[in-house]
Amino acid sequence: MGIVPGYVFVLPAVIVVGWILSWWGARRIRWVLLSAAAVVSVLCVVIGWLAMGPPADPGTVNCSSSWACTDPGSLYVVAAGLLGFGCCAVLVILALVGEVILVWRGRRVSN
């Protein structure tokens, strides 16, 4: 397989940049963007997984293993989806912590 192409990291990068930019907008935008990014990431995993097709028998198709017979393009789509979903999970935790800090600061200032 070798080196992973750069387009695998495009989806996670777009998710992170969108999340950072969303802090200057309304709170609702942040959560809608994270939800949409999670849906797109899951779709990438599903589409990539379905594109791989059923596992091939290495003996009948003259491959060293069933992974050797797999189209790497579909594996990269799955990898992009998994990385994107992982980014969403981490960013949800960070967003929750950020929201708690903002609420805590708001109560502290008003007292």
User: pTM of the prediction?
Assistant: 0.77
C-beta separation of 43 from 84 below 8 A: no
Q: What is the chain's pLDDT, residue by residue, as a tens digit (111 residues)?
A: 456 677 888 999 999 999 999 888 888 888 999 999 999 999 999 998 888 766 655 565 666 665 566 667 788 889 999 999 999 999 999 999 988 998 888 776 554
Of 38, 52, 36, the C-alpha closest to 90 is 38
Contact indicator for 69, 1 with CB cutoff of 8 Å: no
CA dihedral 17, 9, 81, 87 (to 10 degrees): -40
Which H or E element spans position 12?
A: helix 10-22
